[in-house]
Structure 1
């Protein structure tokens, strides 16, 4: 998968995240990938997941043993 960041992404932080400067992640989606970055290092590295992989991850978050 091409992990180069598209020119424009809209990043979102969880509504559960406060503004205390803790450990927060931001997520953005484009046509092919869901990207994750550290909210404190916005120009730093990112992880890129296929949309299917991300959907599986989110689906399994609430399941026992995950």
Structure 2
């Protein structure tokens, strides 16, 4: 990875108008535009697992709250 040399941090307004001309996506970190890297397969697997766990947890909480409404 490279460290870009930027003398003045880029403002948010300048960042919104800025384009590197290569069609890549960037995020602004401490005034420095940094390219956004696509997730790899392992990142996607972790995200899928977290979503699945969240759905299960939500269902359990919903079921518990409904059981408490019966009385």
Q: Which has the higher strand share?
A: 1
TM-score (norm 2): 0.24
TM-score (norm 1): 0.26
User: Which structure has the larger Rg over C-alpha atoms?
Assistant: 2
